[in-house]
Amino acid sequence: MEKGRIAIPSMEAGGLDGLRSGHFGQCDVFTLIDVEDGKIKSVSTVPNQEHVQGGCMVPVNFLAGHKVNALVVGGIGMRPLMGFRQVGIDVYHDDARADIRPVVEDLIAGKLPIISDNQVCGGGGR
């Protein structure tokens, strides 16, 4: 990834040295990483929104509004995955590591796969 904004569902305060949330819908915050010329330019966090009105589409629209291009998840349901695809946000899969920094570095290096339909959750998550 040469340029864009990555969102990582994160626990507690998030940040580049924080821990990922296992399922994007239950994260505390989203860590946003801006990438330019294949390098991390800036890092910020935004609190997750409640899933009241709009259900699973709330985070889709929220992240689209924050100009996110890529999302890395350990788990996601089919409905929000379809929503991210509709708004042009690529969803990548990594459920092996909890640390945010190496996952971001792997995404920038092109080492993470786009999530496939057979990797989606039935809901709930961990």
Q: With CA atoms as reference, report the closest residue to 115 among 98, 86, 95.
A: 95
Higher pLDDT, 29 or 54: 29
pTM given for the model: 0.90
pLDDT band at 52 (very low <50, low <70, confident <90, very high): low
* Fold exhibited by the domain 4-119: Nucleotidyltransferase; domain 5 (3.30.420)
pLDDT recorded at residue 112: 95
DSSP 98: -
How far CA 103 is from CA of 21, 49, 61, 113, in Å, comes to: 12, 23, 23, 11
Per-residue pLDDT reduced to its tens digit, 15-24: 999 999 977 7
pLDDT digits (tens, 9 = 90+) for 72-83: 998 888 888 999
Average pLDDT, the chain: 89
Average pLDDT over every residue of 25-54: 88
Ordered by start, the domain boundaries in the chain are 4-119
